[in-house]
Every structure is written in C-alpha cells, then in structure tokens.
Chains A and B, each alone.
Chain A
Amino acid sequence: MKSVKNHISLILALFSILFAVQIFIINDRALQAYEEKLSSSYSMIVVSTAPISLSQFQQYSSSIKQVEQLSADEMIKKLEENVSPKNIALLKLSLPKFYRIHLSTFPTSYEVKKLTENLKKNSTITKVEDFSSNHDTVYKLLLLFKQITQLFTGVILIVTLLLIAKELRIWQFKHSERMSIMGLFGAPVWLRSAVLFRVALLDALISSCMAILFFYFITESTWTTQQLSIIGIDISIFEPITDGSILLGVSMFISILLASLIVVGYKEEV
C-alpha cells in the first residue's frame, strides 16, 4: 500500500508536468493558427501614381505575400451618368493605382510602422493606409492572451517542480538504505541504482500513458470541437505520434534526471 502511494505521488507529479507541457503545446498551436488567421484577414492599402509589381513591393519587405490591385471601375460607373465619356477617359488616366497588400505573417506594431515608412520612400506611393489603430487593438489582445497562458503554464511547472523536489527527498530516504546495504556487499553503482531507475522509468511510462489517454479523449470529445469552432480556430489538440512522443520524452527525461540526482547525491553511510 505504501509502495503504491509512493508510485502515485510521482505519477501524479509527472502527470501535472505533462499536462502543463501539453497545454503549452496546444496554446502555441492555437496562437499560431490565430496569427495565421489574423494575417490572412489583415491587409494594407497602398495608393500609387504608377503601377508597382509584387517583386517591386517585396523589395521593401519580404513579408509581403500577395498584392491585389483594386479596380476603380465601380466608382467610375457611378460617375458615367453625369460625366462625359471624354472626361471619364481623362479621369481613368489620372486616377492613381490602388493596391491591397497581404502579408505572410501577422506583423507587430513596429513591423507595420517600419513597412509603412519603407513604402513611403517610393516617390510614386502617395498614401499608405495601415489601419494601425485596429491592428494595435488586435495585436495587444493577442499579446495579452499569449502572456496569460505562458504565465499559467509557468505557474503549473513551478508548482510541479516543487512537488518533484519533495518527491526527490522521499525517494532519497527510501532508496538510500537499500543502496547503502548493497554497497556494503560490493554492488557497483549501476546495480545499486537499477531498482531506482526501473521504478522511475515505470512511473514515467504510466504517467505519459495517462496523459496521452487524457488528451486523446479530450480531442475526441464533441464539446472540445464545438468550443474550438466557436472561436473559429481549427487546430488539433493532440497529435498522438508527435505530441505523444514529446510527452513520453519529457516524462522519461524528468524521471531519469530524478533518479540520477539521487544516485549522485547518495553518500555511503559510515
């Protein structure tokens, strides 16, 4: 019973860490998807007196992904009733070119400012509309969301690391007696610590299986899918192969580190 209790305390501590790690992965994935969504909906309007090609635009910033020329035909159509065809033709010639610029990533406020400045260096560009006030609000919200989730993950990690440190002391006490007795009969270090590593690896395996199953069921639940579709983000919460490997790796690393610290910190009883 006592042994099961010892196993459970490490398994739960490891599970908490794995939970925090997976939340961090999901958060990162969601933010990335959200940034992509924002970048696809965000654009700048450039007014130029001369035609500018995509490659010419890209000289000012490599983040410019697509350039779309806005047609002035609809506006001219409205004027056709009141203006003579000759003047319409003159108007068409004198009208500047309107471009909508799409970027590959959602820019920071600084990047928007810098790009605007660069574009204005072109003498043919008369106006750049970057919708900065709208961009700033969205960007600041995104930053706030990022910071809150990072803080949340950080707090979970600190708490669980404290739990692990406590667990380490219990393990040191529990295993040092056996290791000491084995040492008195000439057992080499690897043999003395074999049980310790076996237990640590077993606990790591159990905790990662628990975490994998937990997130697998969360992914499969319709509630989660509904919640994600409400906020308009289509991401995979848990990818069994990649995320499962990360969780297993993290769990194994922590438990091996824990066991190694006990072996390194072990002092022969005199």
Chain B
Amino acid sequence: MDKVIIAEELTLAYNKDETIINQANFSIESGSFVFITGASGSGKSTLLKSLYGAIKPKQGSLVVGGAQIKNISSSKLNFLRQHIGIVFQDYKLIKEWTIEKNVMLPLIIGGFDKKVSEQQVHKLLSHVKLNHQSGKYPLELSGGEQQRVAMARALSHNPILILADEPTGNLDDYSAELIWNLLEGANAQLKTTIIIVTHHIPDTIKIPYKHLHIEFGTIYEVS
C-alpha cells in the first residue's frame, strides 16, 4: 500500500531549547484511519501542524503526499493543502461568511465550477443535518453545529487526507456521533486517509485503525 506520510528521524521544536518531538520514525499508509494520542502538551497538535506544513521539521525528514515539508516552497505547500482537509477544535470558520460559503471555501480555492460546488455543498450540509441553516453565519450556530460545518468543509473537495485536531473535544453526544460517522464514512467509502488527534479513542469506532501514542517526545505505535 502507498504511504501518504513518511517521517524519518523527525524532530520538531518551536525554539532551540524546547524539543517537542524527538527523532520520530513512523509512516502512514494511504487510506488508513489513525489516532494520535498523548497527554496534554505531549506534542500531538504540533505533530498535526507539521503535517500541513505550519511547522517545519528542525531535523530529519517529513514527507506528506510526496512533498518534503522541510524545504517546501509556498506554492507547493498551497498545492498540498488544497488536497488536505483540516478540522480544528476551535472550528476556524470565517465569521463574516455564510455557512454555505464556508463549506465552499476549498472548492473556491480549487477553482471548481460554481454549480458543481453548490451541489456538493448542499449534499454535504444535508449529511451534517444543516441544510436548513446554509444562509446563516457561524456565530448564529451552536458549537456542535459549527464543528459539523467545519467537517463538511474538510470533506467538500474530496481530499486525500483529513487531519482532525480534537474534532469532538467540545461537542454534545449527537454532534460527536455525526462527526465520527462522517469520518468513518469518508475512510470506508472514499478511502480518504484520516488522522485524528485526541485524548480518548471512542469505543464506538467500528473500523480498523492505527494508534500512535506520544510520550516524552517519542512516538510509539500501540498494537
């Protein structure tokens, strides 16, 4: 199976004295479902940020979707990000845009046809049970609803990889279940690689997954 992420001797740090991830080696196969766990401050989110190029490796190599993150140019990074869907704990929705336009964002960036984009957005909004709210603005929705919008946005352009940082951290049970179902569905039906950073792996997960655990800057694979 193709590897979508390959990390070799990967070291991540925000400054010289504070190493977050130390000489990690791991790889993630295309189409796999991966959980990254660890205590607060262990470096889970830092690792996730490095996967979409927000943090560059201090040492070692990190290849995502065939692109070396360490010395990636801004145009190549933009291209890579156009094939990744990201879900944040704080949703990161554009407040002055409607729900519909927020979900359409990756399609606008990708230059998709407007009619095709609108159809895709309506389909996804109905999947997250928010079709009736498409004209509203993010701040008019509850936290759970906003995260469902963020989820729809992450899926809208059929990315090769979805990165989710504590996607259900602040959600009610109903919204959390919807999010897990969507992530599992994308993985099972579209073969999208899913990487989720979380404190706790839900018991309801029905599909096989890989589990990486971070402790003291080292990444272990939990069998």
What residues of chain A have their CB less than 8 Å away from a CB belonging to chain B? 3, 177-178, 181-189, 191, 268-270
Q: Is A186's CB under 8 angstroms from B92's CB?
A: no
Question: Known contacts A268-B54, A270-B49, A270-B54: does B94 contact A185 (CB below 8 Å)?
Answer: no
- Can you give 9 A-B contacts (C-beta < 8 A)? A3-B96, A181-B105, A183-B81, A184-B52, A185-B105, A185-B109, A186-B79, A186-B81, A270-B14
Report B-chain residues with C-beta under 8 Å of the C-beta of A187: 78, 109
CA–CA, A6 and B49, complex, Å: 33
Q: Count of B residues near A, CB < 8 Å?
A: 25
Most chain B CB inside 10 Å of its own CB: which residue of A187, A191, A268, A270? A187
B80 within 8 A of A: yes
B65 to chain A minimum Cβ distance, whole angstroms, is 12
B11 to chain A minimum Cβ distance, whole angstroms, is 17
Residue interface mask B187-219, A partner, CB < 8 A = 1: 000000000000000000000000000000000
Report B-chain residues with C-beta under 8 Å of the C-beta of A189: 74
B84 to chain A minimum Cβ distance, whole angstroms, is 8
Secondary structure at the A interface, as helix, strand, loop or mixed, is: helix
Report A-chain residues with C-beta under 8 Å of the C-beta of B95: 177
CA–CA, A185 and B79, complex, Å: 9
Which residue in chain A gives the minimum CB-CB distance to B82?
Answer: A186
Q: Is B49's CB under 8 angstroms from A182's CB?
A: no
CA–CA, A177 and B102, complex, Å: 13
Q: Is A178's CB under 8 angstroms from B55's CB?
A: no
Question: Known contacts A191-B109, A268-B54: does B96 contact A185 (CB below 8 Å)?
Answer: no
**Contact pick for B92, options A3, A181, A268, CB 8 Å:** A181
**Contact pick for A186, options B14, B49, B78, B94, CB 8 Å:** B78
B106 within 8 A of A: yes
Q: Is B96's CB under 8 angstroms from A178's CB?
A: yes
Q: Is B78's CB under 8 angstroms from A188's CB?
A: yes
Report B-chain residues with C-beta under 8 Å of the C-beta of A3: 96
Residue interface mask B95-117, A partner, CB < 8 A = 1: 11000000001101100000000
Report B-chain residues with C-beta under 8 Å of the C-beta of A186: 77-84, 106, 109
Question: Known contacts A3-B96, A178-B96: does B54 contact A185 (CB below 8 Å)?
Answer: no
CA–CA, A116 and B109, complex, Å: 75
Report B-chain residues with C-beta under 8 Å of the C-beta of A191: 108-109
Residue interface mask B1-31, A partner, CB < 8 A = 1: 0000000000000100000000000000000
A170 to chain B minimum Cβ distance, whole angstroms, is 15
Q: Is B75's CB under 8 angstroms from A185's CB?
A: no
B86 within 8 A of A: yes
